[in-house]
Amino acid sequence: LAKTTQPISMDSYEGQEVNITCSHNNIATNDYITWYQQFPSQGPRFIIQGYKTKVTNEVASLFIPADRKSSTLSLPRVSLSDTAVYYCLVGDPGYSSASKIIFGSGTRLSIRP
């Protein structure tokens, strides 16, 4: 199982770019990297998923180096509403191992005015 390590917490200010790095040294060939965002009293919400290089969508970018042993979630120009817990997951989304995808404790991001 690919265990992930992320910082417990991070602070930033509105308008800044925030980068959250996740380490996953034991990532397997079939594993994808997925990031979720969770607000208080809500379930996690999918942000972005990637396998290698760079993936970008309307809310974030995901950078994955060639060795895939880490990944970085980049949030451009954060606002107060980006204050949340961010989870990095590594796993094979195929049905036979969907249960092996492990959520860690996440990174608590606090954005200040």
Partner 1 sequence: DVKVTQSSRYLVKRTGEKVFLECVQDMDHENMFWYRQDPGLGLRLIYFSYDVKMKEKGDIPEGYSVSREKKERFSLILESASTNQTSMYLCASSLGRDRAYQPQHFGDGTRLSIL
Least separation in angstroms between residue 77's CB and partner 1 is 24
Q: Are 53 and 67 in contact (CB under 8 A)?
A: no
Q: How far is residue 64 from each of residues 47, 60, 72, 96, 97, measured CA to CA in Å?
A: 15, 13, 7, 25, 22
- Applying CB under 8 A, which part among 18-26, 28-36, 61-69, 71-79 lies near partner 1? 28-36
List 77, 105, 110, 112, residue binding partner 1 (CB under 8 A): 105
CB 111 within 8 A of CB 80: yes
Dihedral, 68, 70, 74, 80 alpha carbons, nearest 10: 150
Least distance (Å) from partner 1 to the CB of residue 43? 3
Tell me the per-residue interface mask from 82 to 101 with partner 1, x by CB under 8 A, - otherwise.
-----x-----xxx--xx-x
Residues in touch with partner 1 (CB under 8 A): 32, 34, 36, 41-46, 49, 87, 93-95, 98-99, 101-106
